[in-house]
Amino acid sequence: MIRALCLWLCLALPALAQEEIVSGLSQNRVSITANFDGSEILIYGAVRRMAPPPRDSLLQVIVTVEDPSMPLVIRRKERVAGIWINNAAVTIDAAPSFYAVATTGPIDAILDETENLRHRITIDRVIRAVGISAEAAEAPDFVTALGRIRLAEDRYRLLEGTVQLTAETLFRADIVLPANLTEGNYRVRIFLTRDGKVVDLQERRIGVQKAGLERFLFILAHERPLVYGILALALAALAGWGASAAFRLIRP
């Protein structure tokens, strides 16, 4: 009986010492309207502990925000006989059009490569490209180019040192969402790391969708394309008639 109790305590103590995330979002829904010019999301929280934290390592926080990933084809242009043409292409299994990574420090110093490979945290890992080596020569360069282009377009962001962490307990991150958002459920991930290892992970969701007239036109165009086309033609004819009538009135 005593031996069994000791064994239970040995198994339970690591669980009691585990650090857990308690987090919240400033908003969990974003509406895209005609005057929408972006939105800022505050991600905040605390670390819940059942035992004192380790003294020989520092706690780090990584926050990622991404929209729904989609497959895409990346093409490489080459100049042949003075004309630029698509010479090679690879198919990416899935890649987000928007992805932001915010950290408390340099990501290479606070995240182990094995953990990065497991959780797909950095920009090069979030792009899923399996089996592209058979599609083109130097296929990994296509993935690198995609990340570089979207970083330049500010659609991918690496925000090192922007997560505030107070007394290894309270944290907050401010992520600015761009104006050209796509609809869907955006995934927010929060990682706690020590010595590069992920000690806890939490996921949350932000719903992004069109609202008002934009929502009505979007649904009409996708679910009732015939009605949408007829209305578009009618509005074009009405606009043309109105312009013609206006010119007749102002013409001497």
Among candidate residues 198, 226, 184, the one with its CA nearest the CA of residue 21: 198
- The model carries a pTM of 0.75
CATH number of 69's domain: 2.60.40.3880
Question: What span, in angstroms and rounded, lies between the C-alpha atoms of 81 and 62?
Answer: 48
In a domain, residue 5? The reply is: no
The predicted pLDDT at position 8 comes to 46
Which tens digit of pLDDT belongs to each residue from 14-35?
Answer: 444 488 999 999 988 887 776 7
Which tens digit of pLDDT belongs to each residue from 142-173?
Answer: 888 888 888 998 899 999 999 999 998 999 99
* 86 lies in the same domain as 175: yes
CA distances from 241 to 109, 233, 234, 250 (A): 66, 12, 10, 15
Q: What does the CA dihedral 165, 166, 168, 171 come to, rounded to 10 degrees?
A: -40
Q: Which two tokens stand for residue 108?
A: 């290479």
Handedness of CA 18, 65, 148, 139 (dihedral sign): positive
Say yes or no to pLDDT of 99 above 80. Answer: yes
In a domain, residue 192? The reply is: yes
Which residue in the block uniquely carries the two structure tokens 């990340």? Answer: 147
In a domain, residue 6? The reply is: no
In a domain, residue 125? The reply is: yes
In a domain, residue 136? The reply is: yes
* 234 lies in the same domain as 143: no
Q: Which two tokens stand for residue 248?
A: 């007749």
* 194 lies in the same domain as 217: no
In a domain, residue 8? The reply is: no
The predicted pLDDT at position 223 comes to 65
Confidence of residue 251 (pLDDT cuts 50, 70, 90): low
Question: What span, in angstroms and rounded, lies between the C-alpha atoms of 214 and 242?
Answer: 24
* 155 lies in the same domain as 62: yes
* 95 lies in the same domain as 136: yes
Burial class (CB in 10 A: 0-12, 13-18, 19+), 107: buried
* 126 lies in the same domain as 93: yes
The predicted pLDDT at position 3 comes to 53
| Whether 46 contacts 22, CB under 8 Å | yes
Question: What span, in angstroms and rounded, lies between the C-alpha atoms of 238 and 138?
Answer: 54
Question: What span, in angstroms and rounded, lies between the C-alpha atoms of 206 and 201?
Answer: 17
The predicted pLDDT at position 84 comes to 74
In a domain, residue 167? The reply is: yes
* 80 lies in the same domain as 135: yes
Q: How many domains would you assign to the chain?
A: 2
The predicted pLDDT at position 211 comes to 64
- Per-residue pLDDT, averaged over 215-234, amounts to 66
Which residue in the block uniquely carries the two structure tokens 């094995």? Answer: 114
Among candidate residues 162, 182, 183, 181, the one with its CA nearest the CA of residue 173: 162
Residue of 128 and 130 predicted with greater confidence: 128
The predicted pLDDT at position 11 comes to 44
* 225 lies in the same domain as 125: no
* 170 lies in the same domain as 61: yes
Say yes or no to pLDDT of 12 above 50. Answer: no
* 155 lies in the same domain as 41: yes
Q: Structural domain of residue 50, as residue ranges?
A: 16-209
In a domain, residue 232? The reply is: yes
Cβ neighbours of residue 189 closer than 8 Å, sequence gap 6 or more: 62, 63, 64, 119, 121, 201, 202, 203
Say yes or no to pLDDT of 206 above 80. Answer: yes
Query: 44-48, 114-118, 234-238, 244-248: lowest mean pLDDT where?
Result: 244-248
* 203 lies in the same domain as 233: no
The predicted pLDDT at position 105 comes to 94
* 195 lies in the same domain as 238: no
